[in-house]
Amino acid sequence: MPELPEVEVVRRGLEKEIKATPFLLKFEFRRKDLRHPIPQEKLNQLHGQKIISVERRAKFLLFRLGSAGFISHLGMTGTWRVLENADEAQIGKHDHILIYLGKQSQDLEPKVLVYRDPRRFGIFDFWEGNVKNLPWGVDLAPEPLTDEFNEEYLFKQTRKSSRPIKSFIMDQAFVVGVGNIYASESLFLAGIRPTRRTRSLSQAECKMLTRKIKSVLEKAIAAGGSSISDFKTFYGTPGEFHLQHFVYGREGQACRKCNTVIKVKSLAGRSTFWCSRCQN
């Protein structure tokens, strides 16, 4: 599943294309639902309006058109790409949503954004325009790349739980967007074993962990995300951050820092990677 860096990479690609052709000419829906029904009538009311911005909240892509808009969640296998024209030969069976864009509201040569989702776990929905009131977002926690997510916040939150720290920082109720890959990498760089109980972390360790989470996410975004399965950027190229992984996906290999063999175990149903020497 795409994590925060991958979604942010897609957002930036969408933003670039939409800035050049900002008018939403029309939607074309090739099925009635993804994970949930698509409210086609409400979405079609947006035809002809200008897309002002493409934002991100957690793993949601938010398309703002005045006071309202629409949202997209990629689920497990969702991707966006751009076509310069609506060539039917380039549309596949898993391409479920087409968005026609133009430089003006009556453009005769539209550009097409295409949403592909083989497993159909994604979400596409109308959005009232309030970031704090997403239809599928419930009460989202702070973004990890904002000032709100800091050592004081993490230290205070860890006093309330005795869960393993890796499970804790992956919980969207405490911080959004830190998935399995980036939780493993951040904990390694902070020198903290993923099975450590949250209450055992000192304030100094919380400071280090918040710094490493921010650093890892920023580097992953700059590298285009991690292409460890089928993720590709908006322009169809693979991300390259997986080439920089210290522990994730490297079980049985030598630690890049100390040569100890990287271990893996299941923690809360997720594969968890760490170095027994570098992480305490």
User: Which CATH number covers residue 89?
Assistant: 3.20.190.10
Confidence tier at 105 by pLDDT (50, 70, 90) = confident
Query: Can 15 be counted among the known catalytic residues?
Result: no
> What is the identity of the amino acid at 61?
L
Per-residue pLDDT of 21-38, as tens digits, reads 999 999 999 999 999 999
Terminal Cα distance for the chain, rounded: 28
Q: Would 35 be classed as within a structural domain?
A: yes
Q: Give the E-state strand segments of the chain in sequence order.
A: 23-29, 53-57, 60-65, 68-73, 79-83, 95-102, 111-116, 123-127, 263-267, 270-274
Q: Would 140 be classed as within a structural domain?
A: no
Confidence tier at 98 by pLDDT (50, 70, 90) = very high
**What mean pLDDT is reported for the chain?**
92
Confidence tier at 108 by pLDDT (50, 70, 90) = confident
d(CA 56, CA 54): 7
174 and 90 within one domain = no
Confidence tier at 67 by pLDDT (50, 70, 90) = confident
121 and 234 within one domain = no
We report the CATH number of the domain holding residue 176 as 1.10.8.50
33 and 119 within one domain = yes
241 and 201 within one domain = yes
Q: Would 200 be classed as within a structural domain?
A: yes
268 and 191 within one domain = yes
Q: Would 246 be classed as within a structural domain?
A: yes
For 29, the domain range is 4-127
Query: Can 19 be counted among the known catalytic residues?
Result: no
11, 56, 59, 250: which is the annotated catalytic residue? 59
Helices within 90-231 (DSSP H only): 151-158, 165-169, 180-190, 203-222
Q: Would 279 be classed as within a structural domain?
A: no
The answer to whether 196 and 274 have CB atoms below 8 angstroms apart is: no
Number of domains in the chain: 2
109 and 13 within one domain = yes
Last residue of a domain, one of 92, 127, 162: 127
Query: Can 166 be counted among the known catalytic residues?
Result: no
Q: Would 143 be classed as within a structural domain?
A: no
243 and 175 within one domain = yes
161 or 237: whose pLDDT is higher? 161
26, 57, 256, 270: which is the annotated catalytic residue? 270
Angle between helices 4-20 and 203-222 (to 10 degrees): 40
The answer to whether 72 and 13 have CB atoms below 8 angstroms apart is: no
159 and 88 within one domain = no
Angle between helices 203-222 and 151-158 (to 10 degrees): 120
**Over pLDDT 90: what percentage of the chain?**
79
User: Which residues lie across from 80 on neighbouring strands?
Assistant: 115
Q: Burial, 280: exposed, middle or buried (Cβ in 10 Å; 0-12, 13-18, 19+)?
A: exposed
Q: Would 144 be classed as within a structural domain?
A: no
Per-residue pLDDT of 132-160, as tens digits, reads 777 776 567 999 999 999 999 999 999 99
> What is the identity of the amino acid at 1?
M
Strand order in the sheet with 111-116: 23-29, 95-102, 111-116, 79-83
Q: Would 9 be classed as within a structural domain?
A: yes
115 and 17 within one domain = yes
254 and 182 within one domain = yes
Query: Can 250 be counted among the known catalytic residues?
Result: no
Query: Average pLDDT, stretch 172-198?
Result: 95
Q: Is the pLDDT of residue 163 over 90?
A: yes
Q: Burial, 239: exposed, middle or buried (Cβ in 10 Å; 0-12, 13-18, 19+)?
A: buried
Which of 33-47, 56-70, 124-138 bottoms out in mean pLDDT, i.e. has the lowest? 124-138
22 and 82 within one domain = yes
Per-residue pLDDT of 223-266, as tens digits, reads 988 866 666 677 777 778 888 999 999 999 999 999 999 999 99
254 and 177 within one domain = yes
2, 5, 110, 164: which is the annotated catalytic residue? 2
